[in-house]
Every structure is written in structure tokens, then in C-alpha cells.
Structure 1
Amino acid sequence: MKELLEVLGFLALVQGVLGLVHEFAHWRIGLVQRIGFLDGYEVYASVALVVLAFALFAAAESRKPG
């Protein structure tokens, strides 16, 4: 379970950072800008993904290995 939480946290962190890079550098990367209902809220969704990633890392750290 710990490994699953870490993988999900890593994916959320990568997508959150890529969404922020897309908004501020206008690179066409990441999945956040491709989701239609998030139109106009991409920055908020990206920040929420980064926060979710840190929460998942904290939850993984509190679990026992295995």
C-alpha cells in the first residue's frame, strides 16, 4: 500500500507541476489543460494536485512498509 501511495503521489506531483509549467511558460505538456471542465481553473487544479501529492507522500510515510 505504501508503494501505491508513493506512485500516486509522484503522478499527482508531476501532473501538477506540468500544469503550472503549461500556464506560466505556455508549453503544451501535462493533462490538466486537456480536461474540458477545468477550463479557466487550470492553475487551481494544478496547485490542488501538488498539495494532494504531498498529502499522499505524508500518508505513505505514515504506513508500515509492505
Structure 2
Amino acid sequence: MKKLLGILCFLLLAQGAGGLAHKFTGGWFDKWALVHRIGFLDGYEVYVCVLLIVLGLAVGAASDSVKDGK
């Protein structure tokens, strides 16, 4: 469970950071982020990317409090 939460934490942080990098560099990081490809999020990409980073940090903190199943 702890490894799964760690992987989810990494994915959320990577998507959030990649989306912000895509937005602020004018589209250089096309392959990193999926947020800019979702049509109904047009105009809200920065907010969604910040939310993904916050959720990634929360999941990372939760994974630290979970005990290994061993």
C-alpha cells in the first residue's frame, strides 16, 4: 500500500509540475502533462496543476503514515 501511494504521489506531482512547466514555457513540455489536453479545463490549467501538486503532497504525507504490510 505504501509503494502504491508513493507511486500515486509521484504521478500527481509530476503531472502538476509538468502542467505548470507547459503553461509557463509556452508549450515546450508537451509530452509531460495531460492537463492541457483535457478540453473542459481550458482556462483553468494553472489551478488544476496547483491542485494536483497539493494532492500529491497530501498523498505523500499519507503514505508516510501508512505502515508497511509486513
TM-score (norm 1): 0.94
1:59 aligns with 2:62: yes
Residue equivalent to 2:24: 24
Distance 1:42 1:17 in 2: 11
Deviation digits for residues 8-49 of structure 1 (CA, Å, limit 9, x no counterpart): 010000000000001100122310100111110000000000
Structure 2, gaps ≥5 residues long: none
Residue equivalent to 2:41: 38
- Between Structure 1 and Structure 2, the one with more helix by share is 1
1:47 aligns with 2:50: yes
User: Displacement, 1:65?
Assistant: 1.5
3-state SS in 2 of match to 1:54: helix
Residue-pair matches, total: 66
Counterpart residue type for residue 3 of structure 2: E
* Segments of 4+ moved more than 2 angstroms: none
